[in-house]
Amino acid sequence: MKRTMVRILTGTGLAVAMLAAVGCTGGTHKVSVAPPQQKQTAQADQDIAKLKAELAKKERTIKEYECALKEAEARAAAKPKVTAAPVAAPSGCKTQLLPPAKPGECYARVFVPPVYKTVTEKVLVKGPGEKIKVIPAKYKWVEEKVLVKEAGERVEVVPAKYKWVEEKVLVKEPEVRYVEVPAKYKWVEEKVLVEPEHTVWKKGRGPIERIDNATGEIMCLVKVPAKYRTVRKKVMVEPPKVKKIETPPVYKTVKKRVMVEPPKTRTITIPPVYKTVKKKVLVTPPKEQRIEIPPVYKTVTRVEKVSDGRLEWRRVLCETNATPGMIMKIQRALKRAGFNPGPIDGVLGSETMRAVRAFQKKNGLATGGLTYETIKKLGVDIAG
């Protein structure tokens, strides 16, 4: 009967600690969400719905803690005999929070840590673009006869009179040339979510309430902010273009003889005089060719939560149902695993429990008591 009362009072202290842990979170949780960048309204609605669901879950947890406290107080007041039947749930509680137990069994509400997974995704570093290639114009040289001296007449008696005049002749036609002006880019920084915001339980400080020599323990739910990583990417500010350059035509000054006064007697016809010159003629005009540049991506790894941490009732070993021989086996197993349990004395003291907690955290096990799951992980036979 004495051991049964110890277990009931311990459960009451645990319930008080749970309520204190919930109380220190402040009731309503304000979650700071970074302003969305380049996201649609649908994503924002999903985030709001998720926050509402988390708030409802925390309210249900508070209700469970209140029910656990009422039930533990009812057990302590009634001082029932050792039995496997559970105490009826208090008014307003839908479920039985304390597990049914057989004589000699102990249970503790332990914290099962959250589960995470690593997610790899592609992030756009440089957007798609275009490269413009200018194909120059094609020319060829051709020969052309240019009139240098016009036809004239020569008089045998009175020769004709001539004079020299200058005339411009087109040697090179005007030319159009296109020059490529490359695109302009700038580097911008963008924040990428690496680890979402989550909460963890931490041991809190406050007044310790003693209930029949039992000590209440305070646990606080602490919010861990989200982690971001800054990624640089190159963004096109001004697209590539083509600049048109015109080259003026080239002329050559040619002198030619022009008759001023014709002969007065018998005339002799003088044939015209031509000169062969070379000039550049456009065959194919210049044109541009556009080449698409594909986008550049970078692979980013982030941690995503699969399931939240939770509190569960697990069967445990304590001073009530553990023999010194079993405790010594556990202490030796902890020492073999590299965790110092203190003296191998068969006493479930603070050093041994400190080693148990370190072993549980390293192996991702539930923390808060010496669970049967931990004993099995240590390789200790409970039946033996």
Are 259 and 368 within one domain?
Answer: no
pLDDT in tens, 91-112: 555 544 566 666 666 777 777 7
Are 224 and 328 within one domain?
Answer: no
Structural domain including 167 reads: 129-182+239-293
Once rounded to an integer, what is the mean pLDDT over residues 200-217? 59
Are 70 and 177 within one domain?
Answer: no
Q: What's the longest Cα–Cα distance across the chain? A: 163
Are 138 and 218 within one domain?
Answer: no
Are 73 and 162 within one domain?
Answer: no
What local confidence, expressed as pLDDT, does residue 223 receive?
A: 81
Are 189 and 85 within one domain?
Answer: yes
Are 142 and 81 within one domain?
Answer: no
Number of domains within the chain: 3
Of residues 282, 194, 212, 144, the one with CA closest to residue 8: 212
Are 95 and 111 within one domain?
Answer: yes
Residue 57: count other Cβ atoms within 10 Å of its Cβ: 11
Are 78 and 221 within one domain?
Answer: yes
Are 246 and 284 within one domain?
Answer: yes
pLDDT in tens, 27-84: 443 434 445 455 678 888 888 988 888 888 778 777 776 776 666 566 556 544 433 3
Here the CATH number for the domain that contains residue 345 is 1.10.101
Are 31 and 148 within one domain?
Answer: no
What local confidence, expressed as pLDDT, does residue 98 receive?
A: 61
Give the C-alpha separation, 328 to 267, whole Å.
145
Tell me the HSE value of 164 on the side-chain side, using a 13 A CA sphere.
Answer: 4
Q: Does the structure show a pLDDT above 60 at 285?
A: yes
Are 307 and 203 within one domain?
Answer: yes
pTM above 0.85, yes or no: no
CB 366 within 8 A of CB 110: yes
